[in-house]
């Protein structure tokens, strides 16, 4: 069969399927996005609103990895008497498995002959060579056709039985093949549809059915993963020559539309907070493993598994901010200089607490009197425990990003230089102490600092709630020099007590750090010194810190222009030391007995313990001397016995050695008697010492 004939034949076959697919198509309605809520935790809530008429469907498209979020969070409403029908989405099964589930398997891209081979027994109408054959497919066979001297090609022959007559048709001659079985046509149509949808593996259509009469309002919402919206700031420092503490802060939200829909005049809310969100695999088809049942005679028990049980009563709790009002805004120098004369009034539209709710029209009340300057297009408000910036009428095409001004307010700024020895040993950093007087939650982000009309440096702030203060640094202050090499540490005994033979001492550790400050500039500097805060250490004889963190004390001091001065910070720590007197040598105990810091009663008790230890030590030394004497005589006896073995017993020398050996035995017996007594004395003295110390308690 030529390529042209094959194409014409397959086209003719598929054309018979198309009318079936078109006949089942329902009315389609587009429901646009009207509201977007982006969270700093990396998820977004999207709300579509619109009107439908009668029975209709709407289609949304999502990335494959977003389907789990859709199945977990999709909320649907048909508000005017209608009802929600079925939500249909493509299967996650592999395409080959999906295609094999249909009566006609096209998973391996079959040729026309292979396709018709699957349709044996189906009724078809074939047009070939100006004739029409209607009948049932009996089978197909492949034959060789000679097209040259030694060249052959494969040719498919379809055998059709018509009124008891079998007719053979060369598929190369067929111009049209029509399926008469409507069910087979539908199966083939579904298989082709699944094949078409698989071309875009990253995009999945979700079709939602609405059922009802007349024109109705509908809403649908869902939560999907979105890029984290980010914040970037511009800080205009106050004039250094005046005492004005009012700077200006401009904040921009960086928003990305990574969805499959354009945003056209949507209501955008940017929420500063981290609601808990997770992904659960609901999209992947799950198949339960079924056991194979054997006859009872051969059955064996399978291992059993049980889920953990959960019991006990739960509790509910919560809280909210005391002030849910929108902060009053002040004029900003950013607005006065750059955006003067431009103003616009907008309305909140709905309560901020309803950011994730889909209320009826009766709940959509307007909140008047909240005029906004057009310089900041965001309305700031509390949203339960969270904080949101609400922006009306945002238009952002899909796969595009935008910067949106959300903060243009005056802010309290104090110029400071910040010194931390672990950051930079010799110089502090130029910085500022900000007080969030904007009344808004300021999310974390970078800050570009502008001073005297020019760029001064970059800084970074963490989450910054209203009315709180933050330090930021943006450059090295070369006009101020710090020498932090002067330190003095001491360890002194304070007092002590005795508890059941344990000497309880209190020692005071002191560390003094001197910061030598020198200001070579022409302006007086306010310096913030960050000093390490050690656990259990207390400040003594030091200035009161302006604030304290978990790891740092922050001290404020001033250094006049062209002047130098020292700043001293002293910390002390009272350390408890325990000494068991029974295990401590007499020499060390004598030191504590002479320590004037200890109470007299404690020193007297230690002196008695020293005396008892000395008596015991003397007895032990005497005992050791007698033990050593016995060992010495024993070694001498070994030498005598060796000599006696080398001489005759009748000799005078042998008699002399025997006499000496006898005298030594007498001496050993006396020494052994003394050793036994001394050992008894040592045992008694040690017992007396332990009894004395164990009962010794002086507070």
**Tens digit of each residue's pLDDT (9 = 90 or more) over 171-224:** 877 888 888 777 777 777 777 776 666 555 567 788 999 999 999 999 999 998
Looking at residue 357, what is its pLDDT?
40
pLDDT, tens digit, for every residue of 348-362?
333 333 333 443 333
Does residue 452 surpass a pLDDT of 60? yes
Looking at residue 374, what is its pLDDT?
32
Host H or E run for residue 158: strand 152-162
Torsion of CA 666, 669, 675, 681, to 10 degrees: -110
Looking at residue 334, what is its pLDDT?
46
Query: CA 112, 115, 121, 122 torsion: positive or negative?
Result: negative
pLDDT, tens digit, for every residue of 34-77?
999 998 888 889 999 999 999 999 988 888 778 888 888 899 99
Structure tokens, 347: 């309305």
Q: Could you tell me if 515 and 482 are in contact, meaning their C-beta atoms sit under 8 angstroms apart?
A: yes
Looking at residue 376, what is its pLDDT?
57
Contacts of 101 (CB under 8 A, 6+ apart): none
Residue of higher predicted confidence among 329 and 240? 240
pLDDT tier at 412 (50, 70, 90 boundaries)?
very high
Q: Mean pLDDT for the chain?
A: 78
Half-sphere exposure of 73 (CA within 13 A, CB side): 22
DSSP code of residue 698:
B
Does residue 339 surpass a pLDDT of 80? no
pLDDT tier at 168 (50, 70, 90 boundaries)?
confident
Looking at residue 288, what is its pLDDT?
64
Contacts 24+ apart (CB under 8 A), 584-592: 584/503, 585/613, 586/610, 586/613, 586/614, 586/617, 589/613, 592/496, 592/503
Alpha carbon distance 19, 185 (integer Å): 10
- Return left, alpha or beta for 399; rule: phi > 0 is left, psi -120 to 50 is alpha, else beta: left
Residue identified by tokens 């078109």 is 22
Residue of higher predicted confidence among 235 and 340? 235
Contacts of 678 (CB under 8 A, 6+ apart): 619, 622, 623, 626
Residue of higher predicted confidence among 354 and 145? 145
pLDDT tier at 295 (50, 70, 90 boundaries)?
low
Q: Could you tell me if 166 and 159 are in contact, meaning their C-beta atoms sit under 8 angstroms apart?
A: yes
Percent of all residues in the chain with a pLDDT value above 90, rounded to a whole number = 37
Structure tokens, 659: 């006499």
DSSP code of residue 558:
E
Strand partners, 666: none
Q: How far is CA 391 from CA 151, 351, 353, 376, 387, in A?
A: 75, 14, 15, 9, 13
Q: Could you tell me if 442 and 228 are in contact, meaning their C-beta atoms sit under 8 angstroms apart?
A: no
Work out the burial of residue 628: count CB atoms within 10 Å of its CB; fewer than 13 is exposed, 13-18 middle, 19 or more buried.
exposed
Alpha carbon distance 272, 275 (integer Å): 10
Alpha carbon distance 452, 581 (integer Å): 71
Q: Choose the weakest-confidence range: 78-82, 167-171, 328-332, 419-423.
A: 328-332
Does residue 626 surpass a pLDDT of 70? yes
Q: Choose the weakest-confidence range: 15-24, 405-414, 566-575.
A: 15-24
Residue of higher predicted confidence among 8 and 251? 251
Q: Could you tell me if 528 and 417 are in contact, meaning their C-beta atoms sit under 8 angstroms apart?
A: yes
Nearest in space to 481 (alpha carbons), one of 426, 431, 430: 426
For residue 680, the Cα-to-chain-centroid distance in whole angstroms is 70
Alpha carbon distance 38, 226 (integer Å): 8
Nearest in space to 374 (alpha carbons), one of 330, 405, 410: 405
For residue 343, the Cα-to-chain-centroid distance in whole angstroms is 41
Looking at residue 305, what is its pLDDT?
31
Does residue 504 surpass a pLDDT of 90? yes
Task: State mean pLDDT over 475-491.
Answer: 93
Q: Choose the weakest-confidence range: 94-98, 200-204, 242-246.
A: 94-98
Q: H helices of 74-181, where?
A: 95-100, 112-118
Looking at residue 349, what is its pLDDT?
35
Looking at residue 155, what is its pLDDT?
83
Strands 33-39 and 263-272: parallel
Alpha carbon distance 695, 499 (integer Å): 8
Does residue 599 surpass a pLDDT of 90? yes
Q: Could you tell me if 441 and 272 are in contact, meaning their C-beta atoms sit under 8 angstroms apart?
A: yes
pLDDT tier at 341 (50, 70, 90 boundaries)?
very low
Q: Choose the weakest-confidence range: 20-34, 146-160, 468-482, 667-681.
A: 20-34
Nearest in space to 224 (alpha carbons), one of 352, 389, 71: 71
Task: Note if the pTM is more than 0.85.
Answer: no
Alpha carbon distance 41, 317 (integer Å): 22
């Amino acid at each position: 069969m030529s390529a042209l004939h094959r194409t014409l034949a397959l086209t003719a076959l598929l054309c018979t399927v198309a009318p079936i697919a078109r006949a089942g198509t329902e009315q389609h309605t587009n429901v646009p996005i009207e509201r977007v809520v982006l969270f700093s935790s990396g998820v977004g809530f999207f709300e579509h609103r619109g009107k439908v008429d009668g029975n209709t469907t709407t289609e949304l498209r999502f990335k494959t990895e977003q389907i789990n979020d859709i199945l977990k969070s999709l909320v649907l409403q048909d508000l005017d008497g209608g009802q929600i029908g079925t939500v249909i989405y493509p299967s996650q099964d592999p395409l080959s498995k999906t295609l094999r589930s249909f009566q006609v398997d096209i998973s391996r891209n079959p040729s026309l002959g292979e396709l018709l081979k699957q349709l044996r027994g189906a009724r078809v109408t074939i047009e070939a060579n100006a004739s029409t054959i209607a009948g049932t497919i009996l089978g197909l066979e492949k034959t060789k056709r000679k097209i040259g001297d030694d060249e052959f090609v494969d040719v498919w022959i379809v055998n059709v039985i018509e009124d008891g007559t079998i007719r053979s048709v060369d598929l190369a001659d067929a111009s049209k093949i029509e399926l008469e079985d409507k069910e087979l046509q539908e199966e083939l149509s579904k298989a082709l549809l699944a094949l078409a949808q698989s071309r875009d593996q990253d995009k999945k259509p979700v079709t939602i059915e609405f059922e009802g009469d007349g024109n109705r309002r509908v809403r649908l919402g869902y939560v999907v993963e979105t890029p984290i919206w980010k914040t970037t700031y511009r800080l205009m420092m106050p004039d250094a020559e005046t005492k004005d503490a009012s700077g200006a802060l401009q904040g921009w939200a960086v928003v990305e539309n990574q969805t499959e829909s354009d945003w056209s005049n949507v209501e955008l809310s940017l929420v500063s907070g981290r609601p808990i969100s997770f992904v659960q695999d609901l999209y992947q088809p799950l198949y339960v493993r079924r056991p194979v049942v054997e006859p009872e005679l051969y059955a064996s028990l399978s291992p059993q598994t049980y889920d953990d049980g959960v019991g006990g009563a739960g509790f509910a709790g919560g809280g909210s901010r005391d002030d849910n009002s929108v902060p009053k805004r002040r004029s900003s120098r950013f607005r006065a200089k750059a955006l003067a004369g431009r103003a616009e009034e907008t309305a909140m539209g709905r309560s901020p607490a309803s950011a994730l709710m889909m209320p009826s029209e009766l709940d959509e009340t307007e909140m008047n009197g909240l005029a906004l300057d057009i310089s900041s297009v965001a309305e700031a408000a509390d949203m339960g425990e969270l904080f949101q910036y609400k922006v009306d009428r945002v238009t952002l095409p899909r796969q595009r990003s935008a910067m949106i001004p959300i903060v243009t307010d005056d802010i309290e700024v104090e110029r400071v230089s910040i010194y931390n020895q672990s950051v930079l040993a010799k110089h502090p950093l130029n910085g500022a102490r900000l007080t969030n007087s904007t009344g808004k939650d300021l999310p974390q982000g970078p800050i570009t600092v502008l001073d005297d009309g020019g760029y001064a440096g970059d800084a970074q702030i963490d989450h910054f709630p209203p009315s709180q203060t933050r330090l930021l640094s943006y450059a090295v202050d070369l006009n101020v020099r710090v020498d932090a090499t002067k330190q003095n540490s001491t360890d002194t005994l304070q007092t002590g007590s005795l508890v059941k033979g344990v000497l309880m001492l209190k020692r005071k550790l002191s560390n003094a750090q001197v910061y030598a400050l020198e200001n070579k500039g022409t302006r007086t500097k306010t310096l913030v010194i960050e000093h390490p805060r050690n656990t259990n250490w207390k400040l003594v004889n030091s200035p009161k810190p302006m604030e304290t963190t978990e790891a740092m004390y922050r001290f404020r001091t001033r250094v006049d222009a062209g002047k130098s001065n020292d700043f001293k910070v002293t910390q002390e720590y009272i350390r408890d030391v325990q000494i068991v007197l029974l295990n401590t040598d007499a020499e060390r105990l004598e030191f504590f007995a002479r320590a004037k810091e200890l109470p007299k009663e404690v020193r007297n008790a230690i002196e008695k313990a020293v005396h008892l230890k000395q008596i015991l030590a003397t007895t032990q030394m005497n005992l050791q001397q007698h033990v050593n004497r016995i060992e010495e005589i024993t070694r001498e006896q070994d030498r005598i016995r060796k000599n006696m073995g080398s001489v005759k017993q009748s000799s005078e020398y042998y008699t002399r050695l025997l006499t000496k050996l006898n005298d030594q035995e007498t001496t050993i017996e006396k020494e052994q008697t003394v050793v036994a007594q001394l050992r008894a004395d040592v045992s008694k003295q040690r017992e007396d010492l332990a009894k004395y110390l164990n009962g010794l308690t002086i507070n």
